Amino acid sequence: MSDVPSASEVGSIMDTFSSIGLRRSIRWYEPNKSVEKWKVQAMLEAARLSPTAGNFNGQRAIVVYRDEDPEIWEFISDWSQITTQMAPVLIFWCYDMGNYDTMGQSIHDLLRTGALDKAHGWEYDRVSRLFPLPAMLPDAVLHRLAAIDLGNAIQNACLVATSLGLGTCLNGASGGARRNTKAKFNLPDTYVFSWLMTVGYPAESMDGGGARSRPPFETMFFEKQVGNPFERNPEVVKLLQDLNMLQPAGPLPGRLEEINKLTRRFGLGDEWLTDWKLEDSQLGDLAGDKKPAPLSAEEVRATAAGASADPSGFTLKPTVKREEIQKYREEKGIGDAD
């Protein structure tokens, strides 16, 4: 039987304000809670609908299910392996530079379907003369455009994921991982692998212990010219708080306990417990990058007290240490070129 719900069951889960406000980079997943395929499709459908420069439509994704390929995480990036081991779904986001070859057609299609009109200066023959304009632009420019498009697509997918109760995190890839990805997924030469996204149900709280740090609004946005901050109206702030878009900043009480209990639950060993005091963001004070205060071993252990091993026996491999990765690779016969 189909597990695809009706529109009325999905429709009111979360509005745009709330999903923008609640989205976090989730780095702890329920490893055994599978993600419904319709939700993955919904994310991809959202990515397909994102705007692209000149209707470029170069966004691409390869969806991989960890359980069907349990060793997939080894071929990813050194830095992302803890997150990727836990997530049941991994999405490899790419863009296809090959689409620049058919951009004339893409723009013609906008004329054909009534998105672009003559009043705005668009005409079939004029577009034919101008395109393939991209073939004349430097590669660096084209990559930048395609990467921006991909970012928009990824963000659409993230917001749909949040609305459907899923967590996501983008993960970078080392050079080796990029090479591996090309062979593993049969990527055409025109595909550029950009980011690996983990997808799954959060094992940490959905709000990730509070909204993540951002510099003050006034240092980022301006009116008329830089140096003249866009005035942040407190009434609008209050409205957006009421709409759940602006949420309390982390760390919320209990965050350290949450992280450390998860560390224990997934069998990483006490040397992996976070052993510093969590404190408020210092992004508002550019001279304020102070090292967090350490906690004693006893204080650290207390934060994880009461945590028990995952009932399924799922344990993480502590691969963030380079020597651990090296050992694992040697045992498995994975060479540098893999």
Q: State in angstroms the smallest separation of the CB of 120 from ligand FMN.
A: 33
Q: State in angstroms the smallest separation of the CB of 20 from ligand FMN.
A: 10
Q: State in angstroms the smallest separation of the CB of 82 from ligand FMN.
A: 9
* C-beta of residue 54 within 8 angstroms of C-beta of residue 92: no
The size of the interface with ligand FMN (CB under 6 A), counted in residues, is 12
Rank residues 131 and 201 by Cβ distance to ligand FMN and give the closer one: 201
For residue 2, the Cα-to-chain-centroid distance in whole angstroms is 28
Q: State in angstroms the smallest separation of the CB of 55 from ligand FMN.
A: 23
Distance CA 9, CA 195 (A): 32
Rank residues 103 and 173 by Cβ distance to ligand FMN and give the closer one: 173
24 binds ligand FMN (CB under 6 A): yes
Q: How far from 185 is each of 72, 93, 230, 330, 338, CA to CA, in Å?
A: 11, 11, 45, 23, 13
**Cis peptide leading into residue 132 (ω within 30°):** yes
> Within positions 152 to 171, which residues make up the interface with ligand FMN, using CB under 6 A?
169-171
Site string for ligand FMN, 210-239 (x = CB under 6 A): --x---------------------------
Give me 180's structure tokens.
């591996």
Distance CA 107, CA 98 (A): 15
Residue from 92, 195, 201, 266 touching ligand FMN (CB under 6 A): that is 195
Distance CA 280, CA 317 (A): 30
Using the structure block, give the residue that is written with the tokens 């951002």.
Answer: 214
For residue 24, the Cα-to-chain-centroid distance in whole angstroms is 9
Rank residues 87 and 116 by Cβ distance to ligand FMN and give the closer one: 87
Site string for ligand FMN, 110-139 (x = CB under 6 A): ------------------------------
Q: State in angstroms the smallest separation of the CB of 130 from ligand FMN.
A: 31
Rank residues 51 and 128 by Cβ distance to ligand FMN and give the closer one: 51
> For residue 89, what is the enclosing H or E element?
strand 89-96
Rank residues 57 and 84 by Cβ distance to ligand FMN and give the closer one: 84
- Of 19-27, 230-238, 251-259, 319-327, the window that binds ligand FMN (rule: CB under 6 A) is 19-27
Cβ atoms within 10 Å, residue 228: 10
52 binds ligand FMN (CB under 6 A): no
92 binds ligand FMN (CB under 6 A): no
Residue from 17, 38, 65, 79 touching ligand FMN (CB under 6 A): that is 79
Q: How far from 305 is each of 141, 258, 302, CA to CA, in Å?
A: 53, 11, 5
Using the structure block, give the residue that is written with the tokens 């550019």.
Answer: 286
Distance CA 193, CA 195 (A): 6
Phi-psi region of 269 (alpha: psi -120 to 50; beta: other; left: phi over 0): left
172 binds ligand FMN (CB under 6 A): yes
Q: State in angstroms the smallest separation of the CB of 106 from ligand FMN.
A: 25
Distance CA 146, CA 148 (A): 5
Give residues in contact with ligand FMN (CB under 6 A): 24-25, 27, 79-80, 169-172, 195, 208, 212
